Structure 1
Amino acid sequence: MKDREQDNMSKKALIRKSMIERQGEAKVVRKIILIIVMAFILVAGIIGIGGYLYVKSALEPLDPDNKKTKEVEIPIGSGVSSISTILEDEGIIKNGRIFKYYIKLKNESGFQAGTYKLSPSMELDEVLSSIKSGKVMKEAALKITIPEGKQLSQIATIIADNTNQKSEDVLDKLDDEKFVKSLQKKHPKLLTDAIFNEKIIHPLEGYLFPATYSFYETTTPLETIVSDMLSQTEKVLAGYQSEMKEKKYSPHILLTFASLIEEEATVNVDRNKISSVFHNRLEANMPLQTDPTVLYAKGKHQKKVYYKDLEVESPYNTYKNKGLTPGPIANAGDTSIEAALHPDKTKYYYFLATSSGKVLFSVSLDEHNKKKAQHITSDK
């Protein structure tokens, strides 16, 4: 009997000991969890503070004590990205990327090409003010303005009108393989062999950047004019090298993508949303079905695309062919190039431009057709 009582007491002692040990383990676990949570909060706080301090520092003058000025040249046609890169490379600002976003946040525009006297001690607003009022070193004898969204045939006409030539002669020269290959030697990274694809209509289509170009001789050779335009395209794309590498976009792919956005966009439209539609369609293996490609395939400029036009047999017809067109269908500005690389994250697969210029986006075909019936007449 005593042995049984002792056994019961031993079991109770073991149970009690086990409970005490479990309580101790629970306390340890709670302490560990508390430490981990506190560590996460601490790390998040450090990252947040670090990010704030990083941006704050980037918005401050590079060297407040250095009042020495230096001449900085902003080339004709420079976009926000290229200007930011130039200023960082010249040692005027701390961070070109932060400066680019600062410009966009302030909605600044109207930057002038020219040579400026700038110093590392200048505030960012001072730098912005300066590059909106610079003057070129000497007066140009010839100025050629190439707007955004222009096709090579239209650019040939602009060049011809400014240089007393025939537009057909200029276009023939721009399409001449020997001429193009001479330019390729000067711009090998930009003009790859992709432009000589047999499906391409014009090798230099989309490669002549929209900007105003100044030349100091009235008899400037065509090769010089075109080479300057190609150089400007190179400078603009240089500001997007990291994004291009990340997305595995060659200059040809990027300019092709950007041209489709450019041709679909109106003045007020959000190009990043149009870009998202194209990206979503490509990922879903859907044809892009964008009307400007049909018009390009037909080689005609018309206000409307009719159903019969959609049947045109061409590798540029995105109603009949999936993926991007063989090459660009026009030149694209900096905004469309950036939109091609930075689409909004949406679920849209359709968009519709109304007569007022407003663009309506839809997720489903049914939704798209309802908007189409409401806003577009049935004579397409």
Structure 2
Amino acid sequence: MKQVFVFVVVLALVGAVAAYGHRALDLPVRQVEIHQVVEVPEGASFKETAGLLAQKGLIVSPFWFRLLGKFQDAERKIKPGEYDLHTAMRPIEILNTLVSGRVIQYSVTVQEGLTARQIARVLGTTGIVKEADVARLVSEPAFIKSLGIEAKTLEGYLYPDTYYFPKRAKAEDVVRAMVSRLRQVYTPELQARSAALKMTEVQVLTLASIIEKETGQDAERPLISAVFHNRLRKGVPLQSDPTVIYGIPNFNGNLTRKDLARPTPFNTYTIPGLPPGPIASPGGKSILAALNPAPVKYIFFVSKNDGTHQFSVTLPEHNRAVDHYQKKGAKPGSRKAA
């Protein structure tokens, strides 16, 4: 009788353990989805991760979850990061999520016409990366070279778009993603067009960045492009105010005649041709416009003070437009004149 009793007790214990194991390994904590954000720190052990999951109420037993990890040979395969998990997930689903690294992705939109420094600030405010890390990379020769770019900085190469990155992403990965997006936009067809115009990649991006800063009107981009192409062909200075502004450290928002006369590498009032590099990150429409100027003879344009411009072929035409649109409170940068 005693042996039977012991057998029954052992059998009951085994059954209880098996039932608990089934509960801990095969079933979710709840049938209802209650989401929890779990951050697995860099270098966290599997034991520590199991403890975090238990604290969040996502698993029944850290011990059984560790056994699952050992059985799946996953103890050293989980990825650090921030995860969106919920209580209706089975332990194996949670484990697979951690192993695959399906972390939370945060969106960040980089607008057209921002400088590399401004883009670094935008990225920094999201908490995705540190502003200082991005600012350092865009001027780091070895990193720039690793991207296959022959330029002193990555100004103009950080393509404006909406991106998705995990929290605390590596700055190198973020910058590479933005340059990679530019490569996707700057297609072989556009490269062929660039070659036909005898323009290098950096020249295209430089012109596109100036177009981007000169107008926000899509219909005007090819016209602005035509003005600059015509000026380059005639050997006339571009006289683009945004290039002057770019060359002024800590610009205060007030462009003066003295600024227009101050010689800097980016002052297209005083230097011939294009500046030495882009002044911002151009969008796809400005890149297209730089490579496809409108078939017009315009040499000048002046702001109408409503976001659009008046274009002219001759200087007398241009002066009349300046007198009409800018005679009251004319700004130094309100015109393009030879």
Q: Which category describes the TM-score, using the shorter chain as reference length?
A: 0.5 to 0.7
Counterpart of 1:309 in structure 2 is 259
| Cα distance between partner residues in 1 of 2:288 and 2:143 | 30
| Cα distance between partner residues in 1 of 2:324 and 2:123 | 42
Counterpart of 1:99 in structure 2 is none
Contact in 2 for aligned 1:237/1:251 (Cα 8 Å)? no
Counterpart pick for 1:229 among 178, 190, 195: 178
| Cα distance between partner residues in 2 of 1:233 and 1:370 | 41
**Quick check: 1:150 aligned with 2:114?**
yes
Give 5+ residue unaligned stretches, structure 1: 1-137, 197-202
| Cα distance between partner residues in 2 of 1:210 and 1:227 | 13
| Cα distance between partner residues in 1 of 2:126 and 2:268 | 35
RMSD: 2.0
Give 5+ residue unaligned stretches, structure 2: 1-101, 333-338
TM-score with structure 1 setting the length: 0.57
The runs of at least 4 aligned residues of structure 1 exceeding 6 Å deviation read: none
**Quick check: 1:283 aligned with 2:233?**
yes
Q: What per-residue deviation string (whole Å, max 9, x for no partner) do you get for residues 140-187 of structure 1?
A: 52222111000111001011112266534531342233333xxx32x3
Counterpart of 2:224 in structure 1 is 274
Counterpart of 1:263 in structure 2 is 213
| Cα distance between partner residues in 2 of 1:144 and 1:211 | 8
After superposition, the Cα gap between the structure-2 partners of 1:339 and 1:302, relative to the gap in structure 1 and judged at 3 Å, is: farther
**Quick check: 1:171 aligned with 2:132?**
no
Counterpart of 1:84 in structure 2 is none
Question: Amino acid of the residue matched to residue 158 of structure 1?
Answer: V
TM-score with structure 2 setting the length: 0.63
Q: What per-residue deviation string (whole Å, max 9, x for no partner) do you get for residues 54-73 of structure 1?
A: xxxxxxxxxxxxxxxxxxxx
| Cα distance between partner residues in 1 of 2:191 and 2:106 | 32
Counterpart of 1:204 in structure 2 is 154
Number of residues of Structure 1 aligned to a counterpart in Structure 2: 228
Counterpart pick for 2:268 among 304, 318, 323: 318
Q: 1:248 offset after TM fit, Å?
A: 2.5
Question: Amino acid of the residue matched to residue 177 of structure 1?
Answer: P
Q: 1:315 offset after TM fit, Å?
A: 1.2
| Cα distance between partner residues in 2 of 1:366 and 1:252 | 34
After superposition, the Cα gap between the structure-2 partners of 1:286 and 1:370, relative to the gap in structure 1 and judged at 3 Å, is: same
**Quick check: 1:298 aligned with 2:262?**
no
Contact in 1 for aligned 2:244/2:259 (Cα 8 Å)? yes
Counterpart of 1:105 in structure 2 is none
Contact in 2 for aligned 1:210/1:332 (Cα 8 Å)? yes
After superposition, the Cα gap between the structure-2 partners of 1:300 and 1:346, relative to the gap in structure 1 and judged at 3 Å, is: farther
| Cα distance between partner residues in 2 of 1:174 and 1:240 | 24
Q: What per-residue deviation string (whole Å, max 9, x for no partner) do you get for residues 181-238 of structure 1?
A: xxx32x32xx12xx13xxxxxx1100000001112x3121000000000001111112
After superposition, the Cα gap between the structure-2 partners of 1:164 and 1:211, relative to the gap in structure 1 and judged at 3 Å, is: closer
| Cα distance between partner residues in 1 of 2:103 and 2:137 | 28
After superposition, the Cα gap between the structure-2 partners of 1:206 and 1:266, relative to the gap in structure 1 and judged at 3 Å, is: same
Contact in 1 for aligned 2:129/2:170 (Cα 8 Å)? no
| Cα distance between partner residues in 2 of 1:348 and 1:140 | 50
Contact in 2 for aligned 1:350/1:362 (Cα 8 Å)? yes
After superposition, the Cα gap between the structure-2 partners of 1:169 and 1:242, relative to the gap in structure 1 and judged at 3 Å, is: closer
| Cα distance between partner residues in 1 of 2:179 and 2:263 | 31
Contact in 1 for aligned 2:215/2:308 (Cα 8 Å)? no
Q: 1:354 offset after TM fit, Å?
A: 2.1
Q: 1:367 offset after TM fit, Å?
A: 1.6
Counterpart of 2:126 in structure 1 is 162
| Cα distance between partner residues in 2 of 1:149 and 1:352 | 20
After superposition, the Cα gap between the structure-2 partners of 1:249 and 1:379, relative to the gap in structure 1 and judged at 3 Å, is: closer
Question: Amino acid of the residue matched to residue 138 of structure 2?
Answer: L
